[in-house]
Amino acid sequence: MSVVAETQHVVRRRRFDTDDRWMISLVVLLVAELLYFNFGISTFWGGGWGTSYSFLGYGESFLFTSMIALGVMFVIFTGDIDLSVGYMAAFAGIMMAEFHIGGMNIWIATVLSIALCAVIGLIQGLVITYFKLESLLVTLAGGFILNSAAVAWEGPVPPYGFPHSYDSALGSGDISGTIQIPNQLIVFAVLAVIATLVVHRTRFGRQLVLVGHNRQAAAYAGVRVSATRVKAFVLSATFSAVAGMCIAANYGTARDDLAPTLLLTAITCVVLGGVDIFGGGGRVPGVIIATFVMGWLAPGLLQDNVNDTWATLIAPGTLLLAALTIKGIVDRRQGVSFRAKTLARFGPGSPTSAHADAGDAPGTGAT
């Protein structure tokens, strides 16, 4: 075998051993989960394809979490974190509802609310990059502010009474036929396609991953590091706002407490999907598959008469811990330790260090 052929063989093998192998494992896990729930638990199948008691119908209870996961994924790719996504979704729903109650057409109110949430994401990103603050603290504070604003805006009686067409389009409606497909699945599919194309088929997507892998190297390569990070926060806020609309439509009301609890599940989906929590690695299809693994896990276990605490908290937490353990073992076998990643992210000279420049390289003219 020639040197070139041997090198190509090694490259192919290494590619298969990382992200591809992780996604294959997720697909196997998802198939095993569905086979067990559909054939082992008669009530999981329920009335057939797409009914409110079937595994497609269960999508109405978790697809908005999947949308939030896709949004926060952009931020995690850059090595940041956005803890405001759940509060953002709740605030977006209340904003839309209050605009509609005030006399605005509900679809115009929806578009306007999503746009304003994108602006809030822009502001958070600018505060983080301009003042070189830790994203965890800024978005945590932003979440508290959004939650307080949502509580004050909704008042003692949460807004409700949306048009039936709106509730059906973004909430509990479906495309009827041989297989009833929930409308929320269509919305999620559109967002998933957009996220996949942005990350894997655009220059911006490559910059996202490079910034998360090494901000200084990205800056000296001519990447506008700060601008890339800000755009990630805008996308995160936008996806969360769309999820907030689906939540409001699904429940027929907008409340401040309907979305904040979805944060940890969304981040779990991203990490389980193979995205490196420190940034710079992972693929969107893995996150998409992981959202369905997590989404069907709780209702399936509940149908199997598993205790609610085990089904909704312990089982997902165990799955996340197992995923992190396996990923840590894989990283160590490739010569990358968790300690090395932690020091690279938070230690002296890291992008978050007070002595490090987390912005753009001097002399590049980037902002």
pLDDT at res. 365: 44
Listed range (37-51, 113-127, 317-331) with the worst mean pLDDT: 37-51
pLDDT at res. 176: 67
pLDDT, mean over the chain? 85
pLDDT, tens only, 294-331: 998 888 888 888 888 888 888 888 888 888 788 778 77
More confident residue, 353 or 119: 119
Q: What distances in angstroms separate CA 26 from CA 291, 318, 365, one per listed residue?
A: 10, 15, 42
pLDDT band of residue 4 (cuts 50, 70, 90) is: very low
pLDDT, tens only, 225-244: 999 999 999 999 999 999 99
Average pLDDT value for residue range 124-134: 97
CB atoms within 10 A of CB 147: 20
CA nearest 111: which of 134, 123, 131, 95? 95
Q: Residue 137: is its pLDDT beyond 50? A: yes
Domains (range + CATH), the chain:
19-346 (1.10.3470)
Q: Residue 11: is its pLDDT beyond 70? A: no
Listed range (64-78, 132-146, 337-351) with the worst mean pLDDT: 337-351
Q: Which of 146-150, 180-184, 340-344 has the highest mean pLDDT?
A: 146-150
Q: Tokens 């003219």 belong to which residue?
A: 365
Q: Residue 361: is its pLDDT beyond 60? A: no
pLDDT at res. 179: 67
pLDDT band of residue 124 (cuts 50, 70, 90) is: very high
CA nearest 49: which of 179, 176, 186, 175? 179
pLDDT at res. 346: 57
pLDDT band of residue 160 (cuts 50, 70, 90) is: very high
Listed range (15-19, 68-72, 355-359) with the worst mean pLDDT: 355-359
Q: Residue 203: is its pLDDT beyond 70? A: yes
DSSP assigned state of 282: -
Q: Alpha-carbon distance 120 to 128, whole Å?
A: 12
Question: What residues contact residue 217 under an 8 Å CB cut-off, 6+ apart?
Answer: 210
pLDDT at res. 242: 98
Average pLDDT value for residue range 10-19: 53
Q: Alpha-carbon distance 152 to 158, whole Å?
A: 10
CA atoms within 13 A on the CB side of 224: 11
pLDDT at res. 38: 78
